[in-house]
Amino acid sequence: MIKSIQTLLYSFLTLTFLINCEKKNEKTVVRNYENYLVNTTWLIKDEKLIGYEIGEKQFILNKKNDTALIWNFSAIEFTDKEKFRSYNSWECGNDCFTSIDGKYKFVDKSEIKFQIESITRTGTCEAPIERFAKPKILTMKIEKFSDSLVLNKK
């Protein structure tokens, strides 16, 4: 009786060990989607700010042309492979300027997630920087056209 219990226990432990070894050998699939936004700046139609316009469902972006002189605009700048800044710029220096800073990441080839970390206000609406202990998350579907992007809120 004791021998059969030992045999059963030994078989169970061996099987458990083999299953755990197999699980360790399984590889986690990491998806790296093409990030065509790195070091680019886009003008935002209708002077909206991504991460600030909470109720906004769609943003239309046009690639900023460095040779064109534009005075009044809202834009989003993808400064590197994970950081962004959405900001506005006005001709007159006596205005309210807002910028939104955070991180972004492609979670699918046609989906991008923005993590809003802070909002800065200067000019006539100057206020302390608003930092979020728990960053706001904004997930958008992204459609790419030649020199434009359409972001639709999920």
Give the predicted TM-score (pTM) of the model: 0.75
82 forms beta bridges with none
Which residues contact residue 86 at a Cβ distance below 8 angstroms, ignoring those fewer than 6 apart?
A: 44, 49, 50, 51, 52, 74, 75, 76, 77, 99, 100
Which phi and psi (to 5°) does residue 47 adopt? Answer: 55, 45
Tens digits of residue pLDDT in 12-25 = 545 555 555 555 55
Running DSSP on this structure, what letter comes out for residue 2? H
Range in 64-73, 77-86, 144-153 the model is least confident about: 64-73
